[in-house]
Structure 1
Amino acid sequence: MNRRVVITGIGVRAPGASGRDAFWELLSEGRTATRRISFFDPAPYRSQVAAEVDFDAAAEGLSPREVRRMDRATQFAVVCSRDAVADSGLDTVALEPGRIGVSLGSAVAAATSLEQEYLVLSDSGRCEVMDTEYLSPHMFDYMIPSIMPAEIAWAVGAEGPVGMVSNGCTSGIDAVGHASALIREGSADVMIAGASDTPITPIVVASFDAIRATTTYNDEPRTASRPFDGTRNGFVLAEGAAVFVLEERDAALRRGARIYAEVAGYATRCNAYHMTGLKSDGREMTEAIRVSLDQARLDPTAIDYINAHGSGTKQNDRHETAAFKRSLGEHAYRTPVSSIKSMIGHSLGAIGSVEIAASLLAVENQVVPPTANLEAADPDCDLDYVPKVAREHGIDTVLTVGSGFGGFQSAMVLAREKGAA
């Protein structure tokens, strides 16, 4: 069995944007949502800027009990799932629950709640021995990442395959790739898939400080994220979530669903080389792109837009630029490339799904979002990175890619439905 898979619903919570329409408005206008960290005092840290989500759980329809039970990342995921199902027009109650599944990605899962609980149990680090008298009754939920997709399953009534993908910064693209494979092989008819991460916590900020991966443009938060620019000096940490409804294509067409795009191809590879290091030739990402194109049965010249990982580190930007050239050949020079991390930062495991959402909306609107803050490209990054201003462009096929610690390299091809307006 090799069924075709389409995306019919989108739910997004991103920095500076609550919901699909606000998210696209921010991207198409080239606005940045980075600012000085407000969740805690960032003064002691090397990098003091981030892209935070303005999120009101009660206004989003979560009950006090749900708010107490769920970590912030789980709240994002559940709210986005509800939005995606509503956007799809799918009546999940009328479906066989055993044919509905969930695939969710996250890099650090309940990091927010775990750190908060540590501070309570240790009296802000003053006590070497934890005082269990103050232990939250929901600590188990915070310790077990699989509770995140389980919460979504309970929310939408999914009794089919439900699982968690945690592949670092490729988790979001890999979770959607895994979901599409389950539908393609016949294990499910509908999958709720995406990713969520809320890593703006002192321990995560300190961890990236230690390896000098994040930016030090603390006095210039709006322009701190500078993918492909010659002055870039690290990524901007962020939070966010995006969740989708994936369906078997024929079923979606029968019910008259709006189809954003088909998941035409997906592949992932690992470089088995270094936890954070990347080979300059981009060979592993090249292979993931090649296999995803083969699965889609498309020539490299079919790619109309590349949604880059574009983290804003010199190593990554040069690595994927090389991969685009190796995989697309001369066509790479004719293909617009952009990084939305320039506007909404890097939300770790969530960003792959957030970038899929941006890619789908680029197809729908026939507009390439820009790479904000790109003033003068690094000479080693010599492709068309759509600097600062969005561009109207015919887009039938998008290549979106991800690169993550551990050597993970993933690629997905999204193709516009033939006959779509």
Structure 2
Amino acid sequence: MSGATRRVVITGIGVRAPGGSGTKEFWELLSAGRTATRGITFFDPAPFRSRVAGEADFDAAAEGLTPRQMRRMDRSTQFAVACAREAIADSGLDTGLLDPARIGVSLGSAVAAATSLENEYLVMSESGRDWVVDPGYLSPHMFDYLSPGVMPAEVAWEAGAEGPVALVSDGCTSGIDSVGIAVRQIREGAADVMIAGATDTPITPIVMACFDVIKATTRRNDEPAHASRPFDGTRDGFVLAEGAAMFVLEEYGAARARGARVYAEIGGYATRLNAYHMTGLRKDGREMAEAIRRALDESRLDRTAIDYVNAHGSGTRQNDRHETAAFKRSLGEHAYAVPVSSIKSMVGHSLGAIGSIEIAACALAIEHGVVPPTANLHTPDPECDLDYVPLTARDMKVDAVLTVGSGFGGFQSAMVLTAPERSGHA
């Protein structure tokens, strides 16, 4: 089948995010408009400017990981493997019956094994007391923590994948980009099945300190459940979080032939860089708008076909303003008619992982006919004057969804998901 006609669909989803232990719990939280952000419990946050986070209640042993796997894998890798297992089981695909050379993995992560690297440093340096560290306390698995390529390799071993396997690290767009790259592998004929998604577990002192320094995270420490406030006039920064989402992606015809449930088709994807500033964004949203237009072109959908926009919605003033401008620039008058929301208001911002977690939310919105709300949106910002679905989920038919991401370094990515019968390729 030629690359031009190979359609790519999601047949399996696995999510680990704050507020739940799987995809079902994740969707229940979103559709109920509940928040899962809380005061940090993983370490003493007292020295930090921002002391709230989206922590996941993850039990590696309950997930079926062996003691050796838990010793070898960083927390983020554990999340990815657990999600991959769930996604494969959800898809009903028996990977053991497939040609392993036709199965690939595309995994995104912004900070990779940050948890284990910091823990190892603290052990070797006596919590930073000693300038000269003692290598006698070095973990034998230090290479696994140092090399990000180990992460997709672990997922590949789990899936029996011997095809194209890679890590994508584009900051906070990694979770969209990893899936977009996986889609292209199938379209181009390099693979028939891709296990794709992203993972990050950045709730560590060093990562918290990095965002403290640039004042990107919230100081609303007395209201952790209500600290993430995208598009709200009282917002003061994002809430750092952890999580992962993985998908089984297949060629549409093969998925239908085996009777698989299809959550959504990935119709279009594009990414752009603003070449402007490491953390700053232009007010006009030009680069994000261009990514949106290209993703729509690839999906062969008119902009008026979009039923829901899943915003990056980090809860920083410059991002919310930038996105609002990008939606108006790319969608025209339709930007005022289409509902927009940010699930970061409920699960926080898990850096590279969030793009995949948001793709999961989009596929589930199509599946259930529900648009998740923007929690904590009580005081609309006049600069952000679109329909941001405040507080309460909205029941409606959702056939085409636009999801976007924006990352430090200037990365801007967009993806269009559709119900298969709505596809511009049908």
The bucket for the TM-score relative to the shorter chain is over 0.9
Q: Find the counterpart in structure 2 of residue 358 from structure 1.
A: 361
1:17 CA displacement = 1.1
Which of 392, 396, 399 aligns to 1:396? It is 399
Distance 1:149 1:108 in 2: 14
Please tell me the residue identity of whatever aligns with 2:348.
Answer: G
Distance 1:328 1:59 in 2: 45
Structure 2 contact 399–422 (Cα < 8 Å) conserved:
no
Which of 72, 83, 86 aligns to 1:83? It is 86
Distance 2:85 2:225 in 1: 31
1:197 CA displacement = 0.1
Q: Find the counterpart in structure 2 of residue 412 from structure 1.
A: 415
Q: Percent identity?
A: 75
Q: Find the counterpart in structure 2 of residue 36 from structure 1.
A: 39
Q: Find the counterpart in structure 1 of residue 297 from structure 2.
A: 294
Q: Does 1:223 align with 2:235?
A: no
Q: Find the counterpart in structure 1 of residue 50 from structure 2.
A: 47
Q: Does 1:188 align with 2:170?
A: no
Q: Does 1:133 align with 2:119?
A: no
Q: Find the counterpart in structure 1 of residue 385 from structure 2.
A: 382
Which of 266, 275, 278 aligns to 1:272? It is 275
Secondary structure of the structure 1 residue equivalent to 2:184: helix
Q: Find the counterpart in structure 1 of residue 245 from structure 2.
A: 242
1:60 CA displacement = 0.6
Secondary structure of the structure 2 residue equivalent to 1:101: strand
1:419 CA displacement = 8.3
With structure 2 as the length reference, what TM-score do the two structures score? Answer: 0.98
1:227 CA displacement = 0.1
Distance 1:123 1:262 in 2: 50
Please tell me the residue identity of whatever aligns with 1:254.
Answer: A
Q: Find the counterpart in structure 1 of residue 255 from structure 2.
A: 252
Structure 2 contact 271–291 (Cα < 8 Å) conserved:
yes
Which of 13, 18, 22 aligns to 1:15? It is 18
Please tell me the residue identity of whatever aligns with 1:358.
Answer: A
Alignment of 1:291-330 (within 5 A): 291-330=294-333
Secondary structure of the structure 2 residue equivalent to 1:18: coil
Which of 361, 368, 371 aligns to 1:368? It is 371
Q: Find the counterpart in structure 2 of residue 68 from structure 1.
A: 71
Distance 1:352 1:18 in 2: 18
1:349 CA displacement = 0.3
Please tell me the residue identity of whatever aligns with 1:183.
Answer: I
Structure 2 contact 400–422 (Cα < 8 Å) conserved:
no
Runs of 4+, deviation exceeding 2 Å: none
Distance 2:422 2:246 in 1: 25
Please tell me the residue identity of whatever aligns with 1:318.
Answer: R
Q: Find the counterpart in structure 2 of residue 151 from structure 1.
A: 154
1:105 CA displacement = 0.2
Unmatched 5+ stretches in structure 2: none
Secondary structure of the structure 1 residue equivalent to 2:121: helix
Distance 1:280 1:407 in 2: 13
With structure 1 as the length reference, what TM-score do the two structures score? Answer: 0.99
Aligned length: 420
RMSD over aligned Cα, in angstroms? 0.8
1:97 CA displacement = 0.2
Deviations 1:277-332 (A, max 9, x none): 00000000000000000000110000000000000000000001000000000001
Secondary structure of the structure 2 residue equivalent to 1:154: helix
Unmatched 5+ stretches in structure 1: none
Distance 1:207 1:240 in 2: 19
Distance 1:138 1:262 in 2: 39
Q: Does 1:335 align with 2:338?
A: yes
Secondary structure of the structure 1 residue equivalent to 2:421: coil
